[in-house]
Amino acid sequence: MDRQVILNDLSTYWDELRGHRVAPRRSDLNPNRFGAALEHMFILETSQDGPLRIRLAGTRLCDMMGMEPRGMPARAIFMPPDQRHADSLLNEVVRNPAVIDITINATSESGAVYEGGMMLRPLCDDFGTVTRVLGCIVMDAPQFEVNLDIGISSASVNTLGEPASSMEPAGFAEEQTPFEGPHIRSVPQTGTVTRPTRQPLSRDHLRIVSSRG
């Protein structure tokens, strides 16, 4: 399916859930509604030590990073030259809050260049505080192309309205609604954020790794 169709469908669903609110709640999400976007999706969460971290990852993101990335900083999706820019954009989603659409680029080991897209949308906890980010990344690359370095080409930022009350979760832990589907999974916590030599988790999915910018 066309990259922009996948991103637009998910963005439309998020907007429908949002209604007149600044952002929908994390618990509003229904994986059965995600369609073709499901395997490309991820959810980020705020953390007390600063950077947003990956909480849930679809199979495409797992393959693109060559590992199960739960607990890793979200900026690890990108190569170091673009990680500061990525942090700035991710924080914008939560703090303002804002919706962000990013045009990304990728270069393979053979020198082939591809384009892709990423969408970032804020999610509230049950207390109305933005503590999550719904994301989706889709590359215009052959299914079995691997070792792609991801960079940021451009970003469109649209501030939604009133600032989020806090970047930290509210005083009580958010009750987690199961968020499982045929192409998305919760993965175990990793003990380090250092990215080892990446190997594709399967030959059934596109593997993408981060960017030079």
pLDDT tens column, 156-204: 999 987 544 433 333 333 444 444 444 444 444 444 444 444 444 443 4
Delimit the domains of the chain by residue range: 3-160
DSSP state string for 183-210: TEE--PPPS---------S-SSS-----
Q: Which CATH superfamily is domain 3-160 in?
A: PAS domain (3.30.450.20)
Separation between Cα atoms, residue 172 and residue 62, nearest integer Å: 30
What pTM does this model have? 0.75
On the question of a cis peptide bond just before residue 97, with omega within 30 degrees of 0, the verdict is yes
Residues 6+ apart with CB under 8 A from 120: 89, 90, 93, 99, 100, 101, 102, 133, 134, 135
Residues in the chain: 213
For CA atoms 57, 34, 44, 195, give the dihedral sign. Answer: positive
The sheet carrying 149-159 orders its strands as 149-159, 98-107, 113-124, 130-139, 41-45, 53-58, 184-185
- pLDDT digits 0-9 by tens, 59-112: 888 877 778 889 999 999 999 999 999 999 999 999 999 999 999 998 887 888
Half-sphere exposure of 158 (CA within 13 A, CB side): 12
Mean per-residue pLDDT for 44-48? 89
The SS3 assignment for 170 reads coil
In the predicted model, what is the mean pLDDT of residues 15-21?
Answer: 93
Closest CA to 207 of 57, 105, 59, 63: 63
Helix (H) or strand (E) holding 104: strand 98-107
pLDDT at 162: 56
